[in-house]
Amino acid sequence: MSSHTHFQRRLWPLLYALAFLACLSATAEAGDMVEVLAPERVGTGKPFLVRIATWYPLEDLEVRWNGRGVHPSVTRTGEQSEAEVLLGADLRGEPGDHSVEVVARIWGHERRFSRTVEVVESQWETETLTVPPKMVRPPESERARIEGEREMLRAALAEVSPERYWTVPFFRPVRGRMLSRFGLFRTFNGNVAARHTGLDFRAWLGTPIHAAAAGRVVLVHAFYYGGNSVLVDHGNGFFTLYCHLSETSVREGDMVEAGRVVGLSGATGRVTGAHLHLAAFVLGAVVDPEVLFQTSGDNMPELWKID
């Protein structure tokens, strides 16, 4: 065998590899390496689902939305890598075009993909309530407590757990009728306006309250406004908060399954009567919990309708 032929045989694997990498780069630019499925349009205050899938070996994955990032849990189905992540357009977020940015690490190289999601202004109704004056204008002695509780909640919601615990369908926390909807413009005692950042369920005093999904209890606290409350981290930046409880039945650090009783309904905090106030947060954005329990004709949650 001539030295020239031997050199050619040694060169061919390298040429094949270079050709493959060129093909890989072209595929990435064409957006075919990683499929990013997201809705074209969402309303302010609404959560939505993003699905990511690839046939290539996925070593790491990051999804970024409105300045926050999450490394969603990745599962393997046969040869395909898949991930699902909940995102949300914040109640007070800016309408307009926003990008879901995806950074995928494949064979040691970062590949970037994106989908544009149009955020449109949702329509909200109004509500007028009467509560004790101290729940509208707290006494000076309570202001430090209230600010400390806000900071405590912000710090808890800033965590983005690497493991995803939630699965569909979500568990309705109580059978009672939905009362005050999320996003309402509220007037307390005739002159103080506020936004309703949760969903109220009718729940007579002592009604068991169930976790909407599996997760880890990260806060059990008696808040000035929220009363006895339980915050559950469902992983990948998704949290639910159960407020106004008469009793709590879990401790910080407990792992709970979907449907686990976290407490009993009550009338603690700022209330007009016993009920459950359920709040939901995605990467720090406060979003409408009702969407999690809505179903369409095929019995799947509305947020699962993606383009």
Which of the residue ranges 15-24, 122-131, 280-289 would you say has the lowest mean pLDDT? 15-24
- Taking the domains of the chain in order of start, what are their residue ranges? 31-120, 126-304
The CATH class that applies to domain 31-120 reads mainly beta
Q: Which two tokens stand for residue 199?
A: 């969903």
Count Cβ atoms below 10 Å from residue 205 Cβ, excluding itself.
12
pLDDT higher than 60, residue 22 = no
Report percent pLDDT > 90 for the chain.
Answer: 59
Q: Please write the tens of the pLDDT for every residue from 52-103.
A: 999 988 889 999 999 999 999 898 888 889 999 999 999 888 899 999 999 9
Using pLDDT thresholds of 50, 70 and 90, give the confidence band for residue 47.
very high
Amino acid at 142: E
Mean pLDDT score of the chain:
84
Using pLDDT thresholds of 50, 70 and 90, give the confidence band for residue 5.
very low
The residue with tokens 């406060």 is 286
Model confidence, pTM: 0.82
* Cα 67 → chain centroid: 14
Query: What's the whole-number mean pLDDT along residues 278-292?
Result: 94
pLDDT higher than 90, residue 222 = yes
Which of the residue ranges 5-9, 229-233, 291-295 would you say has the lowest mean pLDDT? 5-9
Which of the residue ranges 121-130, 135-144, 230-239 would you say has the lowest mean pLDDT? 121-130
Which of the residue ranges 2-16, 146-160, 241-255 would you say has the lowest mean pLDDT? 2-16
Q: What CATH number is given for 126-304 in this structure?
A: 2.70.70.10
pLDDT higher than 70, residue 186 = no
Helix (H, G, I), strand (E, B) or coil at 30: helix
Q: Say if residues 173 and 209 touch (Cβ distance below 8 Å).
A: yes
Cα dist. 75→79, 110, 180, 255 in Å?
A: 10, 19, 38, 21
- Can you give the pLDDT at residue 303? 55
- Can you give the pLDDT at residue 10? 45
Helix (H, G, I), strand (E, B) or coil at 142: helix
Helix (H, G, I), strand (E, B) or coil at 228: strand
- Can you give the pLDDT at residue 169? 82
Q: Which of 79, 87, 15 is nearest to 51 (CA)?
A: 87
Query: What's the whole-number mean pLDDT along residues 9-37?
Result: 47
Query: What's the whole-number mean pLDDT along residues 284-297?
Result: 81
